[in-house]
Amino acid sequence: MSRPTPRLVLVAGATRTAAIDGISAAGASPDLLWHTPAADAEILAYGRPVEAPAVPASPTGCPTPAVVTRGARDVLGFETTVVDAGIDPPTAAPTVDFDVAAGGDIRETTPVPGVEQVFERARDLGSGLPDAEVLIGETIPGGTTTAMGTLRALGEPARVSSSLPANPTGLKRNVVAQGLDASGISAGDLAGDPLGAIEAMGDPVLAAAAGIAAGALETGTGVTLAGGTQMLAVAAVLRHAGVTGPLPVATTTHVADDESADFREAAVALDVHPIVTDPGFAHIEGEGAAGLAGYADGEAKGGVGMGGALALAARAGVLDQVRGRAVDFCGRLLGDREAVPESGSEVSSGGS
Amino acid sequence: MSRPTPRLVLVAGATRTAAIDGISAAGASPDLLWHTPAADAEILAYGRPVEAPAVPASPTGCPTPAVVTRGARDVLGFETTVVDAGIDPPTAAPTVDFDVAAGGDIRETTPVPGVEQVFERARDLGSGLPDAEVLIGETIPGGTTTAMGTLRALGEPARVSSSLPANPTGLKRNVVAQGLDASGISAGDLAGDPLGAIEAMGDPVLAAAAGIAAGALETGTGVTLAGGTQMLAVAAVLRHAGVTGPLPVATTTHVADDESADFREAAVALDVHPIVTDPGFAHIEGEGAAGLAGYADGEAKGGVGMGGALALAARAGVLDQVRGRAVDFCGRLLGDREAVPESGSEVSSGGS
């Protein structure tokens, strides 16, 4: 009963880790940060924010990768399913609600209580999906820090990327170190206990994404993890849960080439196949082009399933059209609705 | 930012009125009735039930109109948004959750408390929709009885259809009379107070559908009510709320020609333009054809946006393809997953 194109499942949620100064939101409008998952979900579902107050954008006006994913959806017509794994405040987009609270700050002992219920609920959904192939993406501000925390707890050395041009790597390391202390563990202590690692150092989106992937794989649905270093954390969770099959991770050149991370090496270490697509935003033109050009300067980089959407576009030979559509979206969205910059904040969790 | 085809908004929910013996569910598996909205939403979102236990079907195996709407979606690629206006038990389909409980039995004093909040929440969503045109459909077992109740409270004489070949009109009239008594009102007492009429005699789906329509119309989005006599009740609510613009209602010949109702006359009385499409199920062939042939014998008739989906298909000249796709779905769904008949029950709210 599946359509010819894969389904994109976007897992959206929040972690209070994002409130740490400099990790994610700082400056004039930190409150807007919390609306990013809701806004991303609405852009994917409706092409623009419906109830969320603004189009997520960086201080320089680089817009959320949701515009690229939505552009690809318009061109390719793939189906999308948004999972609410802790969106707060809520969204006007249709979601499969996992009835889970936003994750706590990882400097708490147990930032993700009930992680097993989230994973099992997600596994049920994944095993019920009718598709031959699904892509799984995420939107969660602060998500690269919780990804780093989870990787550390599992003893995986992978470094993580950032949506900021200058990755606040030192700060993230400190936060993760404090988180390990608060949970009374050392790096690697939770190897082989991936849900324990998420419970102590992760966020609910990681649990939901891993569960959906696990359920889908168990029932013969191919899974592509659509994202950057956060999706490597999901891959690590799956590997530590004993999942051994193929696990491609589709991201952008901006994530893969981020020298503060080591996407390609980490992919090899986790036995996942990297699919890297260049969005080609360096030389685009049009009203919305200026915003997207920020990607070429190291902003945003990916997220909201953008890497996967671009991989589908490249596979279908329609990358130019998708790029054009994304430029079009940016021009209209940043024109007809004020994009309030979140000073110093992430564009989206994807490259946080 | 809208796509060329309209968006279909499916409002799904429940009313305890459906539990009345003979109205909706009776016999072997009344419990399955409550899963119908969840199953319909899942069929629309995924092409098959994912967590709901069965494909809704009549005793003779006539399947839910969701298979037709989904077939049209596959062929035409229109966007769909499911609104949860009281689905209980929950669904694995993505929904915009209005956070409303299932409606009570209309023989209670106030079966739909909080009707104004539901309407306003729906109006917000409707006014935020980016589309040039939306179709609004419903799935709520027992929905024609609550539609009749609402029409009576408003003083509108329209009769209502049924998904059963023999419309239990006498029973519905008795239930409505008891409901009016319980609410301490007579027919027509709530003319000009449409939310009061829903509160006393309707269901939350009527409030949500009317609110979405009102919000959409206020912001220049064209609205087509996709359904039969329940959508006439929505039209009546809108007219009594002072909405004066065009309000097409798209249904099937099976509803429009139902002699126990008077769809065409009621449409004229409410100044709504009927769009009537013949699904053409009388002479189809294929593995799933037998089930759909039941429509030609007066079962199911419509619902789950089927009338609107068929109107779009007819407009695009792809009715044959949609019919073929629906037959295909039926063959696979009723084959690979046991369709447990709900003895004496409605196929869906649409023609309840």
Contacts of A82 in chain B (CB under 8 A): 94
**pLDDT averaged over every residue in chain A:** 89
Measured CA to CA in angstroms, residue A319 lies from A44, A186, A257, A310 at distances of 18, 44, 20, 7
Are the C-beta atoms of B83 and B10 separated by less than 8 Å? yes
Residue A238 above 60 pLDDT?
A: yes
ipTM over 0.90: no
Chain A residues with CB-CB distance to B94 below 8 A: 81-83, 93-96
- Flag if A96 and B93 touch (Cβ within 8 Å): yes
Sign, Cα dihedral of A9, A12, A18, A22: positive
DSSP assigned state of A349: G
- Sorting pLDDT into bands at 50, 70 and 90, what band is A2? very low
Query: Nearest Cβ partner of B94 from A96, A128, A329?
Result: A96
- Whether chain B has a CB inside 8 Å of the CB on A332: the answer is yes
Report the candidate in B47, B80, B71, B255 with the shortest Cα–Cα distance to residue B164: B255
CB B329 within 8 A of CB B72: no
How many helices (H) and strands (E) would you count in chain B?
A: 14, 7
**Smallest Cβ distance to A94: which of B48, B82, B92?**
B82
pTM recorded for the entire structure:
0.89
Residue of B nearest to A7 (CA): B46
| pLDDT score at A289 | 79
Report which listed range, A232-236, A347-351, B89-93, B159-163, is most confident: A232-236
Are the beta carbons of A97 and B97 separated by less than 8 Å? yes
SS3 B178: helix
Phi, psi values for residue B120, rounded to 5°? -70, -40
A2: contact with B, CB 8 A cutoff = yes
What's phi and psi for A82, nearest 5 deg? -100, 130
- pLDDT (tens digit per residue) in A127-151: 999 999 999 999 999 999 999 999 9
Beta bridge partners of B226: B250
Q: What pLDDT does A29 receive?
A: 64
- Using the Cβ of A95 and the Cβ atoms of chain B, whether some distance falls under 8 Å is answered with yes
Q: A143-154 and A194-201 helices cross at what angle (nearest 10)?
A: 140
Task: State the pLDDT confidence band at A323, using cuts at 50, 70 and 90.
Answer: very high
Give me the percent of chain B exceeding a pLDDT of 90.
Answer: 69
Residues 6+ apart with CB under 8 A from B10: B40, B41, B44, B69, B80, B81, B82, B83, B137, B138, B139, B304, B305
Antiparallel, parallel or unpaired: β B96-97 and B133-139: unpaired
Interchain pair B130, A1: CB under 8 A? no
Determine whether A177 is exposed, middle or buried from the number of CB atoms within 10 Å of its CB (0-12, 13-18, 19+): middle
Provide, as residue numbers in chain B, all residues whose Cβ is less than 8 Å from the Cβ of A74: 3
Other Cβ atoms closer than 10 A to A144:
33
* Contact of B24 with B18, CB cutoff 8 Å: yes
Q: Could you report the per-residue pLDDT of B23-32, keeping only the tens digit for each? A: 875 333 677 8
Query: Do residues A254 and A297 make contact, with C-beta atoms less than 8 angstroms apart?
Result: no
Statement: residue A324 has pLDDT above 60: yes
Q: How many residues does chain B have?
A: 352
Chain B contact set for A332 (CB, 8 A): 1
DSSP of B212-268: HHHHHHHTT-EEEEESSHHHHHHHHHHHHTT--S---EEEEHHHHT-TTS-HHHHHH
Confirm or reject contact between A46 and chain B (CB < 8 A): yes
> Considering only CA atoms, which of B235, B294, B87 is closest in space to residue A94?
B87
H/E stretch holding A239:
helix A229-240
* A22 or B309: which leads in pLDDT: B309
Q: What is the DSSP letter of A112?
A: S
B150 phi-psi bin (left φ>0, alpha ψ -120 to 50, beta other): alpha
Residue B125 contacts A where some CB pair is shorter than 8 Å: yes
Q: What does the alpha-carbon distance between residue A352 and residue A161 come to, in Å, rounded to a whole number?
A: 7
B332 → closest Cβ in A1, A83, A332? A1
Which one is predicted more confidently, A204 or B259? A204
Q: In the predicted model, what is the mean pLDDT of residues B163-181?
A: 91
Query: For residue B39, which residues of chain A lie inside 8 Å, CB to CB?
Result: none
pLDDT computed for residue B29 by the predictor:
64
Q: Among candidates A322, A332, A309, A170, which has minimal Cα distance to A251?
A: A309
Is residue B89 reached through a cis peptide bond, with omega within 30 degrees of 0 on the bond before it? yes
